[in-house]
Amino acid sequence: RGCKLVGCGSAVPGLQISNDDLSKIVDTNDEWISVRTGIRNRRVLSGKDSLTSLAAEAAKKALEMAEVDPDDVDLVLMCTSTPEDLFGSAPQIQKKLGCKNNPLAYDITAACSGFVLGLVSAACYIRGGGFKNVLVIGADALSRYVDWTDRGSCILFGDGAGAVLVQACDCEDDGLFAFDLHSDGEGQRHLRATIMQNEVDHVLGTNGSAVGFPPKNSSYSCIQMNGKEVFRFAVRVVPQSIEYALEKAGLTSSNIDWLLLHQANQRIIDAVATRLEVPSERVLSNLANYGNTSAASIPLALDEAVRSGKVQASHTIAAAGFGAGLTWGSAIFRW
């Protein structure tokens, strides 16, 4: 059994924050942000906006494009690091889509690599597990965890959702040619949003046993990032990973129609493209409009490129995600 991508969709919040808007809350300016990152605007969830609803909207569009009924979905993978329920958001998406057959739905947490990991997981379920229609959604709302007083990180992130439908097909039509996935817990110190330890410790007695009163609500810290280290990590591992996956697929970078990287920084995208000798005309980027939307960035850029006619049927795409964990990975697939 093989698998192929048969539909995509995306959704972003209505509220837009420009670089000029940000310059009113932190000491920054449009020129610095544009030159150092390529980002000009980002979309941010506001008030009672729901990431789960955004994810469901993206997934619904992917199903419509694929002409697949929600009742025929047998797995929903929600790739997110910012779920609206600690126990997972995916079942809520399944409910919002109206999938009547109770398909399995669960979350995958792998930061900005989440979508690539979800795509590969979908392929494994289809190839080995008899699943037919798997929705892979990448959706994040990092704006909820950004330190809006830290000009070194708050300028980077935006919120959004993207989705693809991966479908079973005959082996000869298989559309996921190869993949490569990694993590390195050692590098976690460079990018993290960890639980506030003090709030957990206070319920423990001196011998470590619970003292018998209910805990206060726990919470996570804001995003703490060493931008330079993350930058170095990305430009080192991403070309290696893509080259390795291409080799496994029996391809070289000259065979790909599009390079589609996690949208974190235009300078990272340019450096990787240069290393792989992929000309800028074959590199997808929508970073200027949305900033870094974490697990959403790859399916969001894919969806825009498909709907604008850039990415066409049978095009070969090399996609790579990288980010917190640290995690990284690439997938070579046909649209």
Residues classed as catalytic: 112, 262, 292
Q: Taking CB positions, which residue lies at the least distance from ligand ACO? A: 323
In the complex with ligand ACO, the residue whose CB is nearer, 3 or 110, is 110
* Residue 320 amino acid letter: A
Contact 59, 89 (CB under 8 A): no
Going by C-alpha positions, the residue among 313, 8, 1, 314 that lies closest to residue 132 is 1
Q: Which positions lie near ligand ACO, rule CB under 6 A?
A: 28, 32-33, 36-37, 111-112, 151-152, 155-156, 191, 225, 227-228, 230-231, 264-265, 292, 294, 323-324
**Which residue in the block uniquely carries the two structure tokens 């690439």?**
330
In the complex with ligand ACO, the residue whose CB is nearer, 70 or 321, is 321
In the complex with ligand ACO, the residue whose CB is nearer, 13 or 91, is 13
Minimum separation from the CB atom of position 317 to ligand ACO (A) = 20
Minimum separation from the CB atom of position 335 to ligand ACO (A) = 24
> What are residue 93's phi and psi, to 5 degrees?
-70, -45
Minimum separation from the CB atom of position 187 to ligand ACO (A) = 11
In the complex with ligand ACO, the residue whose CB is nearer, 3 or 191, is 191
Contact 330, 120 (CB under 8 A): no
Largest CA distance in the chain: 64
Minimum separation from the CB atom of position 176 to ligand ACO (A) = 23
Minimum separation from the CB atom of position 289 to ligand ACO (A) = 17
Minimum separation from the CB atom of position 272 to ligand ACO (A) = 12
- CA dihedral for 297, 303, 307, 310, sign (positive or negative): positive
Going by C-alpha positions, the residue among 118, 121, 148 that lies closest to residue 302 is 118
- Count of positions (residues) in the chain: 335
**C-alpha span between 310 and 282 (Å, rounded):** 10
